[in-house]
Amino acid sequence: MGQQLTTTKTPDEIIPSSIVFLARALADENRLRIIMSLAKGEKTVSALVEELGISQPLASHHLKELKRALLVTVERSGPFIYYELVDPRIATIAGDLGGLAAHLLANRTTF
Amino acid sequence: MGQQLTTTKTPDEIIPSSIVFLARALADENRLRIIMSLAKGEKTVSALVEELGISQPLASHHLKELKRALLVTVERSGPFIYYELVDPRIATIAGDLGGLAAHLLANRTTF
DNA sequence: TTTATATATAAACAATAGTTTATATAACGA
DNA sequence: TCGTTATATAAACTATTGTTTATATATAAA
């Protein structure tokens, strides 16, 4: 178990695949909203479920993917499980993508 | 035809979906390699096909997706069609993701 | 014109990924 | 230990996406 991220590859091969790996984490609206929410501080699953209006199993599923992508850490406190962003840079990068998207949309010629 | 990116939505809804839209463009290894290659200058389809070692229809397919994501522009010159990155920031952001990925991998506790 | 080259498109298929529903596990208070 | 709450997991289903194969279109040279 646990996705193999490193093998015997040249940097040219390693880097693209690890970029793709993180980009995938941002490429789903529910995961992105989880990331943005966690950027404001650690949260329990139920807090995310309520805030985002998604089902509990769906939240757990996406949190597991974010863990697989090394983006979140998990900590239990009694019956609650807190998820926390490992590195806030992922939210910054998401913001950069949003800025670029806004720029591309504003300057696009074709509809 | 042409994906609807803007509707009557609040910024909270527009921004996530446009981020997801661009993140998807980076979330495939072949598209990412096309972006990285175009970051070094405009290229014809055949040049990309040769450089990346992918089939011509596959290259055309991914280039069409990048065009849909507003990331590339197209220009014909004789029988050749040149693709060019609209904004180099997409490559910068990809690089940022790579830097973060390297950091996450270096600092990860679980395998 | 015909032929060759460059690219796009369409159809079929394969593979991934997201979602729901149902159920299991873990913690804790009564 | 029983019931309740919080979360995870598994299975089934659906939807989306990537790839190949075959064919169409466009340009230009012979």
Q: Are A73 and A86 contacting, i.e. CB atoms less than 8 angstroms apart?
A: yes
Given pLDDT bands bounded at 50, 70 and 90, which one contains residue A108? confident
Q: Are A20 and B32 contacting, i.e. CB atoms less than 8 angstroms apart?
A: yes
Q: Are B18 and B36 contacting, i.e. CB atoms less than 8 angstroms apart?
A: no
Q: Is residue A76 part of a domain?
A: yes
The string of pLDDT tens digits covering residues A74-91 is 999 999 999 999 999 999
Q: Is residue A103 part of a domain?
A: yes
**Which residue in chain A is spatially nearest to B111 when comparing CA positions?**
A2
Q: Are B2 and A110 contacting, i.e. CB atoms less than 8 angstroms apart?
A: yes
- Reference B85, options B63, B100, B105, B102; nearest CA is B63
Q: What is the DSSP letter of A8?
A: S
Q: Is residue A28 part of a domain?
A: yes
Q: Are A87 and A71 contacting, i.e. CB atoms less than 8 angstroms apart?
A: yes
Tell me if residue A73 falls in helix, strand or coil.
strand
User: Cβ contact (<8 Å) for B19 and A26?
Assistant: yes
Strand partners for B72: B85
- Judged by a CB distance cut-off of 8 A, whether residue A21 touches chain B is yes
Q: Ramachandran region of residue B59, left (φ > 0), alpha (ψ -120 to 50) or beta? A: alpha
Q: What is the DSSP letter of B41?
A: S
Tens of pLDDT along chain B (111 residues) come to: 333 444 444 556 656 699 999 999 999 999 999 999 999 999 999 999 999 999 999 999 999 999 999 999 999 999 999 999 999 999 999 999 999 999 999 998 754
Gap between the Cα atoms of B33 and B53, Å rounded: 11
Q: Is residue B65 part of a domain?
A: yes
Domain of residue A66: give its range.
12-107
The string of pLDDT tens digits covering residues A55-77 is 999 999 999 999 999 999 999 99
CA dihedral B84, B87, B88, B92 (to 10 degrees): -130
Look up the protein residue whose alpha carbon has the minimum distance to the C1' of D5: A79
User: Cβ contact (<8 Å) for B36 and A20?
Assistant: no
Q: Is residue A94 part of a domain?
A: yes
Q: Is residue B2 part of a domain?
A: no
Q: Is residue A50 part of a domain?
A: yes
| Vertex B86: Cα angle to B46 and A22 (nearest 5) | 85
Q: Is residue B6 part of a domain?
A: no
User: Which amino acid is located at B49 in the chain?
Assistant: V
The string of pLDDT tens digits covering residues A41-56 is 999 999 999 999 999 9
Beta carbons within 10 angstroms of residue B75's beta carbon: 10
User: How far in angstroms lies nucleotide C19's C1' from the CA of residue B18?
Assistant: 22
How many domains would you assign to chain A? 1
pLDDT of residue B1: 35
pLDDT of residue A11: 57
- Judged by a CB distance cut-off of 8 A, whether residue A64 touches chain B is no
* Strand duo A43-44 + B72-77: pairing: unpaired
Gap between the Cα atoms of A94 and B23, Å rounded: 8
- Reference B45, options B33, B31, B56; nearest CA is B56
Of chain A, the end-to-end C-alpha distance in Å amounts to: 44
Q: What is the CATH number of the domain that holds A74?
A: 1.10.10.10
